[in-house]
Amino acid sequence: MSSERVPVELCKGINGLEKVVLREVRGSSAEVYLYGGQVTSWKNDHGEELLFVSSKAIFKPPKAIRGGIPICFPQFGNHGSLEQHGFARNRVWSIDVDPPPFPTNTSSRAFIDLILKPSEEDMKIWPHSYEFRLRVALGPGGDLMLTSRIRNTSTEGKPLTFTFAYHTYFSVSDISEVRVEGLETLDYLDNLQNKERFTEQGDAITFESEVDKIYVSTPTKIAILDHEKKRTFVIRKDGLPDAVVWNPWDKKAKAMADFGDDEYKHMLCVEAAAVEKPITLKPGEEWRGRQELSAVPSSYCSGQLDPQKVLQCS
Ligand code: BG6
């Protein structure tokens, strides 16, 4: 069998880090590094890259890979003694050979199950017992599905409390030509203004300066319209009530060592998240958070500026 058709392949990526390549028969593909359990590539069946990864990304522990889909766990943001966005994104995950069954089975053969459990060192930083199972699956039509299952495995009756985000970096042609639909009129916490709470205006969101907002209680579907590329990304999420929208813009871009000065023009983070209300699990309880990404040509949607039509037509 030619390697092109192998649905799941384990190989070496940048700096010898192990990665899993997923391939669907129609030509779409995805790559997942065991370092961070991080998706670093998602291509459609024309071979076009849909995620942004910085040309300056450092594929070397302990730095998280700048781009793709980092997993923020056990915290989103920067609180207390834990590092910003938690440590799941800079730990080496294992392949989960025998995951417990999913309620709905994936129709695709192109999927991988990963698992993260705390090491002794992790227990010193964050003394909690858990099993974090991540399934990354590529659907037959090229959709990318990530399902996280986090179980509290404490035998001492300890609750497990965490916040979470799929920190997805979408690749866009030109940030000034992009609009986000589905977050209009919602409340958000502005990270640039001490997390103060504001209400978004009624129009779709466009970008002309730095943005770092946590929209709360968002709908299960959000669309990113890239006019220049004539492409719409649709994010569907479940178990993740919030959505973070981030673009560092020029000044912050220059301040980041692993990010090119002009790269902010070609990326946008829209992150399915559970931030405002942390999740608490009793021993033995499991939480599930899922995001499904699809990329459709905008011309499919006759009323592409009408959020309802964009969301219905994929
Ligand atoms: C976003 C946060 O999700 O991630 C921003 O809202 C943060 O505040 C950004 O700057 C990048 O974080 P990091 O740790 O990957 O540089």
Catalytic residue among 31, 85, 167, 181: 167
Does 281 fall in a domain? yes
What is the 8-class DSSP label of residue 49? Answer: B
CB under 6 Å to ligand 1: residues? 84-85, 167, 191, 212, 244, 246, 269, 271
pTM of the model: 0.94
Question: What tens-digit pLDDT sequence spans the chain (314 residues)?
Answer: 444 579 999 999 999 999 999 999 999 999 999 999 999 999 999 999 999 999 999 999 999 999 999 999 999 999 888 999 999 999 999 999 989 987 766 678 999 999 999 999 999 999 999 999 999 999 999 999 999 999 999 999 999 999 999 999 999 999 999 999 999 999 999 999 999 999 999 999 999 999 999 999 999 999 999 999 999 999 999 999 999 999 999 999 999 999 999 999 999 999 999 999 999 999 999 999 999 999 999 864 444 445 555 455 44
Does 234 fall in a domain? yes
> What pLDDT, on the 0 to 100 scale, is given for residue 25?
92
Domain harbouring 161, CATH code: 2.70.98.10
Cis peptide before 61 (omega within 30 of 0): no
Give catalytic status of residue 286 as yes or no. no
Does 1 fall in a domain? no
Does 128 fall in a domain? yes
> Counting Cβ atoms within 10 Å, is residue 129 exposed (0-12), middle (13-18) or buried (19+)?
middle
Does 29 fall in a domain? yes
> What pLDDT, on the 0 to 100 scale, is given for residue 138?
96
> What pLDDT, on the 0 to 100 scale, is given for residue 299?
65
d(CA 22, CA 29): 5
d(CA 283, CA 159): 6
Does 3 fall in a domain? no
pLDDT tens digits, 230-245: 999 999 999 999 999 9
CA of 303 to the centre of ligand 1 (A): 33
> What pLDDT, on the 0 to 100 scale, is given for residue 314?
42
Please state, for a pLDDT cut of 70, what percent of the chain lies above it. 92
Contacts for 191 with CB less than 8 Å, ≥ 6 apart: 77, 212, 213, 214
d(CA 7, CA 21): 8
Catalytic residue among 24, 181, 263, 271: 271
Does 44 fall in a domain? yes
CA of 102 to the centre of ligand 1 (A): 31
Q: Which long-range contacts (CB under 8 A, 24 or more apart) does 126-132 make?
A: 126/74, 126/82, 126/87, 128/74, 128/152, 128/154, 128/158, 128/160, 129/153, 129/154, 129/155, 129/158, 129/160, 130/160, 132/73, 132/88
Residue of minimum CA distance from atom 15 in ligand 1: 66
> What pLDDT, on the 0 to 100 scale, is given for residue 306?
52
- Which residues does residue 290 pair with via DSSP β-bridges, in sequence order? 147, 238
Give the range of the structural domain holding residue 295, as residue numbers without chain letter: 9-303
Does 182 fall in a domain? yes
Give catalytic status of residue 167 as yes or no. yes
d(CA 161, CA 143): 31
For a mutational test of ligand 1's pocket, the pick from 69, 210, 212, i.e. the residue with the most ligand atoms closer than 8 A to its C-beta, is 212
Number of structural domains (the chain) is 1
Which residue has tokens 């053969």?
109
**Would the annotation count 89 as a binding residue?**
yes
- What count of Cα atoms within 13 Å lies in the side-chain half-sphere of residue 108? 27
> What pLDDT, on the 0 to 100 scale, is given for residue 42?
98
